[in-house]
Structure 1
Amino acid sequence: MAPLYLGLDVGTQGAKAVVYDAGARAIVARGAHAYGLLPAPPGAPGRAEQHPDTWIEGVRAAAGQALARVDAGQVRAVGVSGQQHGLVALGEGGRVLRPSKLWCDTESAPEAEELSWALGFTLVASFTATKLLWLKRREPEVYAEMRHVLLPGSYVNYWLTGRMAMEAGDASGTGLLDITARAWDARAIDAVDPALAAMLPPLLGPNEAVGTLRPEAAAALGLRPDTLVAPGSGDNAMSALGSGVTRDGQLVVSLGTSGTLFGVSAAPIADATGTVAPFCDATGAWLPLVCTLNCTRVGEEVREAFGLSQEDATALAAAEEPGCRGLNLLPYLVGERTPNWPNSSGALLGLRPGLLKPGLLYRAALEGATFSLLGGLERMQSFGLKARELRLVGGGSKNKLWQQIVADAFQLPVRLPEEPESAALGAALQAGAVHSGTPVAEFVAAHEPPVSGHVVRPEPAAAAAYAAAYARHREGGAALFAPGAAGAPAAGGGDAPA
């Protein structure tokens, strides 16, 4: 029988699992388990935390559902895709010291600004380095107990294998990695704490296994103890694999809790403003990436406020014209990292009599989230990155109206990978590559994920309306929230000097 490979995606809203059959070249089973954030205490609006035990519970539940549908004895390797940036602080013996501060936690915005000035390039509050400095300053007793630093994906790998290690694509999100050398950056580490160097784990190459399952983890999952565990990576790098994006000119747009835009590059991109994050990918190349904090949740806020189903909200929005008759919804409900305005908020601009309608507001929410990502593409293109087509993934990609908005705003063709759980599939493909001894890019090329034959093509007639709406989006946001603007909050949000 052909080997099976288990792919796990440990996200912000839940864990997903898929089982990939290398012989059939198809997913043959899947599972899912939802969870959420810990309640934020009063007076801490920027806090977003989860306990690592939540991820393990999610992995066990999602994997259990998937493995119940196959012969688990045929699973030869496991790969893990993890939400990036989250700080997992461990004490002696790997004991979890506190809940993990996640990528969307913005409490470390002052520390981000301080590190940005010290290092000469922008680190937004999402990056782990800023959370480490926050922990050192705000919870010194916890920091003093810390002996090891991991990320959500590498913590799951630690639970699976008993070994602490980190893959370069995931480590890129710490702000402590020299992405060109794929090694820890002593200067960045020293800016936080020189003692931190001893707490960071060894780095793994893209085809290097973490190890095999601990007996306890094997028993919990119902797998063989000799099952390999691949190095894993961040969710965006894994989504690129699961979307079949391995060539220049192909970009992924992910519409999830966060919005992301990324594509493979043969060389690293160093953007001192921090708009384009300089990430490694999961194959040994690079993955320049733009991430926004506000994406699908913005439309959901509008929909829920009017008590509408997604179908009804979308139908009403589809009846409205591109550009929303001059109405813009700035989507920065939880602050924003792209642009780097951690203390910004949502705002409605251009409101006139008769425009406070649910369909118009819902469409403005979708357009606003899209425009934030479009700004990222413009920055990428300034570094010479080419864009020929977009591959749309994430929960928002299922909305046909949003598909067309993306195609029209970007004026690029949009294709949809047939597998919606692209990160989990990418993790399974990485597991297959490691087990077979094949370079990851070659394995993905040989097992290319299917893409829908339907292409969402941009409407040239909508280009002018979206260009005008995008200009209003940029100008209105800058007037309110850019450093020095009249409406800008007093602290945080400035770019470091180039």
Structure 2
Amino acid sequence: MPLLTLVVAACAEALSQQQHQRQQLLRGDLYLGIDCGTQGTKAVVYDATSREVVGVGSESYGLIQERRGQAEQEPRVWEAAMVSACRGALEAASARSVRGIGVSGQQHGLVALDEAYEVLRPAKLWCDTESSGEAEELASALGWGIVASFTATKLLWMKRNEPESWSRLYRVALPHDWLNLRLTGRLVMECGDASGTGLLDVEAREWDEKAAALVDAALVEKLPPLVAPTDAAGYLLPEMAARLGLAPGTPVSAGSGDNMMSALGCGVTVQGRAAASLGTSGTLFARSPEAARDPSGVVCPFLDAAGGGLPLLCTLNCASVPEEVRKGYGLDRDGIAALAAAEEVGCDGLSFLPYLVGERTPNWPWASGALVGLRPGHLARPGLLYRAALEGATFSLKKGIEALADVGVPRCDQLRLVGGGSKSPLWRKIVADACQVQVAVPAQPESAALGAALQAAALVAGAADVAEWIRENHDAPVVATVDPDPALKSAYDQAFELHNQRGADLFGRPPLL
């Protein structure tokens, strides 16, 4: 064999070996994403080379609900759940390969800290409506429809109802901030999650001193420093590294609220896509250049976790509503879904107004769930009630699509479904037909935890634009699509109109006390 041929062959072999070695080094380049939710904490391990989730862990917990409107949790429960979920997810992967950590958290929750950064009281959650009176007061002063979910309202409630704890308040944190604090020893807040407090100037991306002063003159001094989505929240402390089985000093990304992280994880990194989360709550959001301005407060003025806007609306009642029906009849999900699929669109004139815990969109905190249009035999048909619950929750989201259009968000070409409800083929079809839009289901249902992992990967990669980097390198694949059936549009429109009219008749004004 000629010498030149031998040299070329040797070089090719050496290059092949180097590429193989590089692939071996890159394989297992893992990122840990954590999502602290209302019902539990979930963790995923994402392999950036194979672009797949290689480990999943979860831990459930409950709510403190001892009086009407109360919804609270102990932050220490989140920490224990985080450790358990992460260790479960890491069992399927090599912990030594984890290069970054990201944290997603339920939005709005008030974590009140004293001067030693110890928790003063259980965290008041997004679904706590005890501060609805304070919300009305702040909405009047601010000139837009802030609702009881926002952190500012919970702070004012705490000041008025718990003066001893208020006197010891030193720092304010949100759930994901508090977990970052436990992981890194550093308390900061990122603008996406901060936009859900009601205390952020979303245009300047800095704290709004006038808004904070409506709660208390000294409040702005108790708000944490703000960081950009490309910044690190800090680095993993040795104590937490030992508990998780990870390397000390592992970078922890800025993190964000669960909806912001879900947008990264389900592919809502471009305009033209929207997402609906069918979880405990229902959320609908899309990406825009800036935060939306809606004086009514129906569309929230949120920022995303990548430097843009995230017009979003949220309903307090979503997947929990059909679950109430299923449990009430003692049927499994597949069984009751089969019965519901056999029922007609519109549910024989039955409307399930799904406001079991009050409602945020529309802003009816005093509302309750209601079945309207009951006829003989309806209660003996569990599939009918289950379908009515699915349609009722869906109609709240359909109304949200109209609300997004009202603030200038273009109609989406595709609606991506995430959350537990997205696993239901029947619910996917109801959403597609009721909203007359193509529905797509991302491969990874835990989109918030995945988005947290992707943000961590973007941090380690040194990405200047988180959304663009994710879109180019890790855009979310889909596993199913459902096209709308135009023949069902009229039936759904009629049921939707009836649903809206009945809700307005029952709950369109505050009750007489």
Q: Give the greater-gyration-radius structure (CA).
A: 2
Match of 2:50 in 1: 24
Q: In 1, Cα distance between the equivalents of 2:489 and 2:36?
A: 37
Equivalent position to 2:172, from 134, 137, 149: 149
**1:88 corresponding residue in structure 2:** 111
SS in structure 1 at match of 2:413? strand
2:173–2:189 Cα contact (<8 Å) kept: yes
Deviation at 1:393, TM superposition (A): 0.5
Deviation of residue 453 (structure 1)? 5.1
Deviation at 1:120? 1.1
| Structure 1 pair 364–349 and aligned structure 2 pair: CA distance change class (3 A) | same
Task: Determine which of 371, 376, 383 is the counterpart of 1:348.
Answer: 371
Alignment pair present for 1:398 and 2:398: no
Secondary structure (helix, strand or coil) at the match of 1:93 reads coil
Q: Which residue of 2 aligns with 1:470?
A: 496
Aligned mates of 1:267, 1:237 — CA distance in 2: 14
CA contact (8 A) 1:303 1:313 kept: yes
Moved more, 323-332 or 346-355: 346-355
User: Given residue 414 of structure 2, which amino acid in structure 1 is its aligned partner?
Assistant: E
Amino acid at match of 1:157: N
What residue is the counterpart of 2:16 in the other structure? none
2:372–2:502 contact (8 Å) kept in structure 1: yes
| Contiguous gaps of at least 5 residues in structure 2 | 1-24
Superposed CA deviations along residues 7-35 of structure 1, whole A, max 9, x for unmatched, are: 00111111111111222222121211111
Matched, 1:320 2:343: yes
Map 1:347-386 to 2 at 5 A: 347-356=370-379, 357-386=381-410
Structure 1 stretch displaced more, 167-176 or 23-32? 23-32
1:324-373 superposed Cα distances (whole Å, 9 cap, x missing partner): 11110000000000000001001111112232221111100000001111
Asked whether the 8 Å contact 1:238–1:424 carries over to 2, the reply is: yes
Q: Is the Cα–Cα contact under 8 Å of residues 104 and 176 in structure 2 kept in the other structure?
A: yes
Q: Secondary structure at the match of 1:447?
A: helix
Q: Deviations over 1:270-293 (max 9, x none)?
A: 101110001000110000001000
The aligned counterpart of 1:445 is: 471
* 1:68 Cα deviation from its structure 2 partner: 2.4
1:144–1:490 CA distance, 2 compared to 1 (3 A): farther
Alignment partners' CA distance in 2, 1:379 and 1:17: 33
Structure 1 match to 2:460: 435
Measured against aligned partners, the alpha-carbon deviations of 1:52-87 in whole angstroms (never above 9, x if no partner) come to 001100110011112222221121110001000000
Deviations 1:236-280 (A, max 9, x none): 111111111111110001000000000100132110111000100
**For each residue in 1:115-169, what CA deviation from the matched residue of structure 2 results, as whole angstroms up to 9, or x when unmatched?**
1111111111100000000000111111111101000000000001111100111
Is 1:265 aligned with 2:288?
Answer: yes
Between the two proteins, what is the percent identity of the paired residues? 58
Equivalences for residues 166-245 of structure 1 within 5 A: 166-245=189-268
Give the match for residue 456 of structure 1: 482
The runs of 5 or more residues in structure 1 that have no matched partner are: 492-498
Q: Tell me the distance in 2 between the aligned counterparts of 1:71 and 1:58.
A: 20
Which deviates further from its counterpart, 57-66 or 25-34? 25-34
Cα distance in 2, alignment partners of residues 404 and 376 from structure 1: 18
1:180 deviates by: 1.3
Shift of residue 442 of structure 1? Answer: 2.7
Shift of 1:450: 3.9
Does residue 408 of the first structure (1) align with residue 437 of the second (2)? Answer: no
- The answer to whether the Cα contact below 8 Å between 1:415 and 1:451 also exists between their aligned partners in 2 is no
Q: Distance in 1 between matches of 2:284 and 2:491?
A: 22
Matched-pair contact (CA < 8 Å) for 1:432–1:443: no
Q: Quick one: which amino acid aligns to residue 396 of structure 1?
A: G
Secondary structure of residue in 2 paired with 1:20? strand
What CA distance in whole angstroms lies between the structure 2 residues aligned with 1:273 and 1:85? 19
- Look up the match of 1:494: none
Partner of 1:11: 37
Q: Which of residues 451, 456, 459 is equivalent to 1:426?
A: 451
DSSP 3-state at the match of 2:183: helix
- 2:217 and 2:280 map into 1 onto residues whose CA distance is 34
Could you say what secondary structure the match of 1:86 adopts? coil
Indicate the SS of the match to 2:365.
Answer: coil
Q: TM-score, normalised by structure 1?
A: 0.95
- Measured in 1, the distance between the counterparts of 2:82 and 2:389 equals 32
Task: Check whether the contact 1:417–1:449 (CA below 8 A) recurs between aligned residues.
Answer: no
- Aligned positions of 1:98-117 closer than 5 A: 98-117=121-140
- Counterpart AA for 2:333: Q
Alpha-carbon distance in 2 for matches of 1:301, 1:454: 27
Equivalent residue pairs, number: 484
Distance in 1, matches of 2:72 and 2:177, equals 17
